[in-house]
Structure formats: C-alpha cells, structure tokens
Amino acid sequence: MTNPIRVTVWNEFQHELEDEAIGSIYPNGIHGAIAEGLQAAGGFEVRTATLKEPEHGLTDEVVANTDVFVWWGHKAHGQVEEAIVDRIHKRVLDGAGLIVLHSGHFSKIFKRLMGTTCDLKWREADEKERLWVVSPGHPIVDGIGEYIELEQEEMYGEHFDIPQPDDLIFVSWFQGGEVFRSGAAYNRGAGKVFYFRPGHETYPTYFNEDIRKVIANAANWASPVDRPGRVTGNYDPLEDLPWYDKKHAVTEQFGDASLR
C-alpha cells in the first residue's frame, strides 16, 4: 500500500504519572515509547490517545481515521466507557486492526472480542522471558531471530483463557518454570487482532528493538484490506426460484463502504 497506515496508540497513562520510577522509565508515557518505535519503523501515521482525554481520545472522528489500534491498559480497565468499547469493537469487526499489549489481556475490548475470561497466572519476580518463534513464515516475525530474550519481565503463565489462536506466533519460556502463548493472531469480522505479551510497566521493554519490530510488523499485518462493506439481512436469491416473490429488500450494508 502506498498510503501510510494510520495507527492510534492508546494508553491508560496512569502508572507513569503516579509512580516516579515508572515515570522515569517512560518519560513520554508507554504510548510515547511505542509511538516512537512506529515512527522509526516508517510507513505509519501515528497518533496517541489516553484515558483522561475526552472520550478517552477515541472520538468518532479519530476512530473513523484509524486503521490499526494499539492498546495498553492495566489498572484502569474499569474506567473505559462501554460506548467507547462499542465503537472500537465495531471498527475492528469492520476491518481495522487491534494490537493488544501485555496487561491489555484484561481490557474490555479484548475480552469482548475473545468471548472468554482472558485470565492467566502472573508473578512479578524480575525473571527472564524468552519468546520462541513457532510460526517462522508469519509476517509478524519478519526480521526476528529464533527467539527474543528479555532479561527481566513479569511472568504470565498458562492456562491463558483465550480461544485457540488462528495463528500462534510466539511461545514464552519463563525462568520460574512456566510457558505462555505470548503472540496470538486472530481474524475477527473483517478485522485482525494480535495479542503480544511483553511490556510490564516497570521494565523498558518498549525500547527493545525486537519488541518494536514485532509491533511494527503487527501493525502492517493488521491493516485493513480494501473491500466493500459486508452485506447482511434479507437477501433475494441469485438463482431463479420460480415460486418465490423477490423482496427487493434493502439489505443492510454492514460496515462502511470501505475502511480505506
């Protein structure tokens, strides 16, 4: 595609303001660090949005002009308004991409799209995580070696209560003895969803070059295709059914004519 992909990086932006140590790791916020990584990768038009902005920074206008959302949240999931979740949900099913990071596993939008609890085991023990690539031809791992090693991260352990991924991309090894499906790709409606595990707020994970590359690859992969909106509702036959009186129903056009 010749046009830049329009990415909106959303962050609840609480930890960085409330905790000095975290604030010093992410002086521009977690969203800022992620946005910088995307800018450096090139090919994206990046904006950011945070919880405390009006409509969480996710107005109709912003959402309608976003191809791919990146989502980081943790302690304030409950403060995200249902109407905004509805808006993102619709936009993703209509074709947009959504990249859910780390503690975003418990965000309303991710749980809504998955249909499961998205619960898991966790531990903050400054331990090593090694993310092994198990889908070596997937565009999300372009430029990535056999594994990504993070010296210190929070542990997330199985069972991770998600639907079986359409493509399982990474599996993590943790020093304390657990494994985790840490890169999981889904098709939902006309949209694409990628869950990527790393990024606890107390570590500089979003400055890691491999992690940035994965997020940029995922944003490329998740960008919308150019297709007419889906048609649903009462539908006249395409073949002749002589006994049937055509309704010439105005079928519902599902989604916008096109996202791009």
Report the site for a copy of itself in 175-204 (rule: CB under 8 A): 175-179, 181, 186-192
What binding mask, one character per residue, do residues 92-111 give for a copy of itself by CB under 8 A, x or -? -x-x----------------
Nearest to 63 by CA among 44, 88, 95: 88
How many amino acids of this chain bind a copy of itself (CB under 8 A)?
80
Options 25, 38, 113, 219; binder of a copy of itself; rule CB under 8 A? 113
Does position 150 bind a copy of itself by CB under 8 A? no
Phi then psi dihedrals of residue 255, to 5 deg: 90, 170
Options 39, 59, 135, 202; binder of a copy of itself; rule CB under 8 A? 135
What b/e string do you get for 6-27 counting C-beta neighbours within 10 Å, with b at 16 or more? bbbbbbbbbbbeeeeebeebbe
- Identify which of residues 35 and 92 has a Cβ nearer to a copy of itself in the complex: 92
For the four alpha carbons of 87, 92, 97 and 101, in that order, the dihedral sign comes to positive
Judged by CB under 8 A, which stretch of 16-24, 33-41, 70-78, 120-128 contacts a copy of itself? 120-128
Task: Compute the distance between CA of residue 249 and CA of residue 147 in angstroms, rounded to an integer.
Answer: 54
Judged by CB under 8 A, which stretch of 34-42, 67-75, 122-130, 196-204 contacts a copy of itself? 122-130
Task: Compute the distance between CA of residue 90 and CA of residue 243 in angstroms, rounded to an integer.
Answer: 38
